[in-house]
Structure 1
Amino acid sequence: MSGDDQVATYVHDVAVALLPELPDLGSGTAAYIFERVPEFARQEVSEVALAACQANSAALLDALMRGITIDAMAPSEEVIRTTRDLAKAISLDTLVSGYQVGIAYWCSRWTRAVERYCDRAGVPVALRVTDYGTTFLLSWLQMITNRLSVAYRDEAERLSREWSMARTEEARRILASDDVDITTASRRLGYDLTRHHVALVVVRDGSNQAPLEATARELAGTISGSRPLTLLVDSDTLWCWIPTNTEARATPVREGVTCGQGRPGRGLDGFRLSHRQALEAVRVARLAGRGFPAVTHFSDIELTALCSHEPAALSQFVTSVLGALADPSPHNRLLRETLRSFYAENCNYRATAARLLLHHNTIRYRLAKAEEALGRGILDRRLETEIALHLEAQLGTHTNDADE
């Protein structure tokens, strides 16, 4: 029998001799780890840790009995399952530390077993059997820690997705239901619902692949330094609430992203209302097409939001009130701008001229042309005319019906 065959035989024999000790190997490994890595001894972790020690001990002993090579080593399904269970309760660094301590315990048990069961093999053979076992155990440690990193990452990502989905469903319930316990809901969301909030709704188009959550946090950071609540609703839509009472406005941070911002509100009612306002801001921004900035503030489009739920009726209203003045030519655009400024300055010619940095005679000329286009005096039907001018400035004469 060659030396390698002799070593393989003794490795098999020692592993077989250890088989009756398997339960003690598992529990002994666990106790050794609990003593040196206290995180494993916690009540919510210890039972799973013991199961993992037993699963790993069984897998190790089986591999040593069957002479599995290092290249062919692979953790069993039970080892993977118990590792995933541990990943729910402790950090990856702690998990790796536990495996390192556990393998040290196994190396000690293997060395003592070789001394006990290889007494007739001679010192050189016994040393080689010891070396084979410890090398195998250290290789197992390297393999399992590599697999641990992958398994831990996969489990962490799965838990993160589940947590995100659970929080999103909780937010939907809060937004839709009147029967909400604010303390319980705050705990489930991980967000204090009793405070003031400013809501954002962030939507990206297909050309922008930047992570939505990072984009939302950047936007929130332009309003407040407080940590926001961010909820991914679908692949291209994210809801965000910023715990602040500031009237500050979010400023654009990326191309290809549309953001709606609501007003600040307090408690559950404020949480809901600011969110509805942010949704309306996004809706109006999409209706307006390219004419809107990347961040649309509800305070700027409240009237437009109120009037734009029937785009065809809105377009008809604007054209019927403005008449020829609604024509999108550059000349008419100047006339509309002048008339809007005239109304904003309480129909004062000189104040309008100062506002637009023009001579007051130029203002009078433009307003006379506006009257011709309207087909009536500029003070006739002033309320309807102001509203129509505002809507035209926000959305244009023709809205994007196809987008609705």
Structure 2
Amino acid sequence: MTMVSPSIASAARDVAAALVPHRTDIGEGVWNHIVATRPNLTSRAHTPLKLANAACHATNAALLQALANSASLEDIMPSTEVILATRALVQNGFSEDEVMSGYRVGTAYWCENWANAVEEYCPDPQLSVKVASYGTSFALGWLERVIGQVVADYRDEAERMSREGSVARAAYVRRILEDTDDGLDVGAASKDLRYDLTGRHVAFVLGRHPDSRDDAPLDPLARTLAMRLTASAPPLIVRVDLDTTLCWVPTAEVRAARIPHAPVLIGQGRPAHGLDGFRRSHREASEAVRVARLARRPAGTVTRFDDAELIALCSNDAAFCEDFVRDKLGPLTEDTDETRCLRTTLQTYFASNCNFRATAVRLGVHHNTVRYRLERIGGLLGRPPEQNRLQLELALHLADGIGLFTGVGTTASVNG
């Protein structure tokens, strides 16, 4: 605030000193005005309203004492009552807008009372206008200072509650996933989670992409994915940590869905029913996203367990899996134009049931070219490829699935 003349400061001290003995009535008047302009407050929990009332009285007393002592705004900090009231309001579901609106309404009413008091205790008409303006500016300056602190306290408390609530919810779901002794009260758990564990589900696991620099929560992405699949009932979304979110969508059919450019890898389980299905679909989604990471798939893809089942089965020990691929394919694992061509030919040959002409048609080349390439493959491997078809076909499939080659394997995604 700008400097004021001694006469204005003196008159303001006199008005404030006259009001100090009536601070309880003034504080109650401010509170009643807030309640009158916000009638829905009376239907809310009693404890936070009691604390808010105490904060209203404490604020009024602090303003009057500051004016009575010619204190500066820097000397007034949010009281303990204000901090406790803010936290209690958050804990009982009051929105940030509701809390801030209450402060503004109360301050405006306090300024109106100040102007009336100046008229009564400062009879000099030339001075009274300036004193009224000074007290109003002081209160509004206090409001501007305190609002910043209140907003910070509100958001800190809201974040703490969200974090603790997420941790508790994640721990509860984790117990459901791990407790397979059938001692779970499914009805009570469904009620607690607000999600029907007895219905049909498709599980998803969202994991932040390793290359992502974004640390925003993944919950909104899970909600977007769920809404694209079904709008019949709300999903169950559980934040495990900053980089992992679990999601169950109550549906038996999965329509095409994708979140392009999102900084996540998404694993999708198969549709399943009941509590066992809730657990099984989640296990499948977890394996699918593990395969997606192993294969270094691009952000935003949805990897289905149906398309990753064999890779998931064989790749729990990634190093052993890679050793198997290199042992079976030998020189074919090299990253050259020739070996890439030979691998494609061999995969197509196996897919064509080892028929030269069918392979040639699929590749768009002459069947003698296929024969030549297969002879070349046999020479590199030291034996005809038909002798170890199962191992070779599995090795080629795994190499694609774990992204062993620079041309990363097919992305099993639900394209939208």
Map 1:31-110 → 2, pairs under 5 A: 31-44=32-45, 45-70=48-73, 72-88=75-91, 89-110=93-114
The change in CA–CA distance for 1:207 and 1:43 in structure 2 (over 3 A counts) is: closer
Q: Counterpart in 2 of 1:344?
A: 351
TM-score normalised by the chain length of structure 1: 0.79
- Unaligned 5+ segments in structure 2 are 406-416
* 2:164 pairs with 1:157: no
The change in CA–CA distance for 1:274 and 1:144 in structure 2 (over 3 A counts) is: same
- The letter for the 2-side match of 1:387 is L
The change in CA–CA distance for 1:205 and 1:163 in structure 2 (over 3 A counts) is: same
Q: Counterpart in 2 of 1:393?
A: 400
* 2:267 pairs with 1:260: yes
Cα deviation for residue 199 of structure 1 reads 0.5
Q: Counterpart in 1 of 2:201?
A: 196
CA distance in 2, matches of 1:382, 1:271: 37
SS at match of 1:105: helix
Of 172, 176, 180, 2:174 maps to: 172
CA distance in 2, matches of 1:92, 1:387: 58
SS at match of 1:96: helix
CA distance in 2, matches of 1:124, 1:222: 65
Instruction: Kindly tell me the number of residue pairs found equivalent between the two proteins.
Output: 395
Q: Counterpart in 2 of 1:12?
A: 13
Provide the alpha-carbon RMSD of the alignment. 3.9
- The letter for the 2-side match of 1:86 is L
Judge conservation of contact 1:215–1:253 (CA < 8 Å) in 2: no
CA distance in 2, matches of 1:322, 1:130: 89
CA distance in 1, matches of 2:227, 2:28: 54
Cα deviation for residue 306 of structure 1 reads 1.0
CA distance in 1, matches of 2:151, 2:169: 26
SS at match of 2:353: coil
The change in CA–CA distance for 1:169 and 1:134 in structure 2 (over 3 A counts) is: same
User: Residues 343-381 of structure 1, C-alpha deviation per residue, up to 9 Å, x if partnerless?
Assistant: 323334333332222333333443344444444554444
Cα deviation for residue 278 of structure 1 reads 2.8
SS at match of 1:24: helix
Judge conservation of contact 2:209–2:265 (CA < 8 Å) in 1: yes
Map 1:295-306 → 2, pairs under 5 A: 295-306=302-313
Of 373, 379, 390, 1:366 maps to: 373
- The letter for the 1-side match of 2:367 is H
Cα deviation for residue 22 of structure 1 reads 2.8
Judge conservation of contact 2:114–2:132 (CA < 8 Å) in 1: yes
CA distance in 1, matches of 2:335, 2:209: 29
The change in CA–CA distance for 1:256 and 1:128 in structure 2 (over 3 A counts) is: closer
User: Residues 197-226 of structure 1, C-alpha deviation per residue, up to 9 Å, x if partnerless?
Assistant: 231332222553363527835982796365
The change in CA–CA distance for 1:174 and 1:100 in structure 2 (over 3 A counts) is: same
Cα deviation for residue 21 of structure 1 reads 2.8
User: Residues 124-152 of structure 1, C-alpha deviation per residue, up to 9 Å, x if partnerless?
Assistant: 55555444433433433444444444443
- The letter for the 1-side match of 2:240 is V
Judge conservation of contact 2:269–2:305 (CA < 8 Å) in 1: yes
User: Residues 27-74 of structure 1, C-alpha deviation per residue, up to 9 Å, x if partnerless?
Assistant: 332222212211322231532332222222222222222222346544
TM-score normalised by the chain length of structure 2: 0.77
